[in-house]
Amino acid sequence: MQATARAHTNIALIKYWGKRDEELFLPTNSNLSITLDRFFTTTSVVFDRTLTSDQFFLNGKLASGEETAKIARLLDIIRKMGGKDIYAKVDSDNQVPTAAGFASSASGFAALAAAATKAIGLDVDEKTLSIIARQGSGSACRSIYGGYVEWQKGEKEDGSDCYAKQILEEDAWDLSILSVLLESKQKKVLSREGMKRTVDTSVFYDGWLKTVEQDLQVAKAAIADRDFIRLGEVLEKNALKMHATTLGADPPFMYWQSATFDVMYEVQALREAGIHAYFTIDAGPNVKVICRPEDEQAVKEAMLKIPTVQDVFICHPGPGITYITE
C-alpha cells in the first residue's frame, strides 16, 4: 500500500482571494493559474497497519504536530473514501525554495492527494483528485493539472462542482515566469488568515467581487488568442486589486515591502523601454514577473541589477501530477 507522486507549484494570474466555506475550501471567486516546471514536491505515502498515528517527514525531518495535523486531516478524507482505517507514513521532498515566495502548500497537498489515493487503492479521476487536494489547500486543486488551469468556484454547498480543470496544455503556449527573490523579512500575515480578514472586514472586498469574474473572462480570452499583452495587463491589474483589498481590511495589512516596490517600478520601466513584462504578487513580498520567452534574459538582468533582489529563477509552464515508480 505504497505510492509516490509529484506535483508542481502554480502561480495565479487571476487570484483566489476569499472563501465562502472555510471547512471545504470553497472560494468566493473562480480563478486561473499556470503550473510551473521548476518547483515541485515529491511525496511517498505508505499505509501501514503497525502505525499508531500518521507520521510526516518533510525533507527528511519529522514535521511538527501542527504540520502533521494538516496532513492527517486530508488523510482522514482519503481513508474515509477508501473505507480503510489505517495510518500512514508520509515522506515529502520539497524542491520549492519556500523563501522564493512560492507556497509549497499547493504542490504539497496535490502530491499528497495523488500519492495517498493511489496507495490506499482508490482509482480516482483528475476531477476527484482536484476536489480532494482542494481540501488541503485551495490552490492545490490547480496543481493537479499542467499548463493553464482554471479553478471553477462552483455553486453547490457540498463543493462537488468546485474543482480545477486544464484550459490549455503546457506546451501549447510558452511564457516565462521569473520568480524574483527579495531580501525580506518573514511574512506576518499568512494567506489563509489574510484572506479571511479581508472577506470579513475589507471595505474594498465588494469591488474585488464585482470585477474578478470579468478579469477572468479577459484572461481566458487572451490565453485562447495567445494575446500576451492583454493577458499581462489583466493579470497585473488583478494582482493590484487583490492587494488593495488588504488595505481596506480592519486592521489593515500589506504584503509589500520596499523591495517589492523596487521590482514593480523596474517592471514599469521595462515596459516604457519597450519590453513587455508584467508582475504579480501573492500573499508575501516576493514578485513574479511574466514575459515572453525571447525577453526573459533581458528581464532577468534588469531584475538582478536591483540592489534588494537576491536571486531570480526562470520558470515555464510545467506538467500536472506524475506518479513515480521506483
Using rule CB under 6 A, residue 191 touches ligand DP6? yes
Q: 319 pairs with which residues across the strands?
A: none
Which of 6, 24, 25, 238 touches ligand DP6 by CB under 6 A?
25
**CB nearer ligand DP6, residue 82 or residue 285:** 285
Which of 15, 38, 70, 197 touches ligand DP6 by CB under 6 A?
15
| CB distance 316 to 177 below 8 Å | yes
Using rule CB under 6 A, residue 137 touches ligand DP6? yes
Tell the smallest beta-carbon distance from residue 283 to ligand DP6 (Å): 4
CA distances from 141 to 1, 30, 254, 292 (A): 24, 12, 26, 26
Which of 283, 287, 315, 321 touches ligand DP6 by CB under 6 A?
283
Number of residues near ligand DP6 (by CB under 6 A): 14
Burial of 310 by CB count in 10 Å (0-12 exposed, 13-18 middle, 19+ buried)? middle
**CB nearer ligand DP6, residue 199 or residue 303:** 199
**CB nearer ligand DP6, residue 12 or residue 111:** 12
Tell the smallest beta-carbon distance from residue 99 to ligand DP6 (Å): 16
Using rule CB under 6 A, residue 104 touches ligand DP6? no
Using rule CB under 6 A, residue 103 touches ligand DP6? yes
Tell the smallest beta-carbon distance from residue 215 to ligand DP6 (Å): 12
Helix (H, G, I), strand (E, B) or coil at 290: strand
| CB distance 66 to 58 below 8 Å | no
**CB nearer ligand DP6, residue 166 or residue 191:** 191
Which of 138, 147, 154, 317 touches ligand DP6 by CB under 6 A?
138
Residue nearest to ligand DP6 (CB): 138
**CB nearer ligand DP6, residue 46 or residue 100:** 100
Contact segment (CB under 6 A) with ligand DP6 among 9-17, 94-102, 210-218, 260-268 equals: 9-17
**CB nearer ligand DP6, residue 18 or residue 82:** 18
**CB nearer ligand DP6, residue 3 or residue 96:** 96
| CB distance 122 to 81 below 8 Å | yes
Tell the smallest beta-carbon distance from residue 257 to ligand DP6 (Å): 16
| CB distance 252 to 24 below 8 Å | no
Q: 123: Cβ–Cβ under 8 A, 6 or more apart, which residues?
A: none
CA distances from 140 to 28, 40, 232 (A): 16, 12, 23
- Report phi then psi at 191, rounded to 5: -60, -40
Q: What is the DSSP letter of 284?
A: S
* CA 208 from centre of chain: 19
State the alpha helices, DSSP H only, in the chain. 65-82, 104-119, 126-134, 191-201, 205-224, 228-247, 258-272, 296-304
Which of 4, 16, 75, 78 touches ligand DP6 by CB under 6 A?
16
The footprint of ligand DP6 (CB under 6 A) covers: 12, 15-16, 25, 31, 103, 105, 137-139, 191-192, 282-283
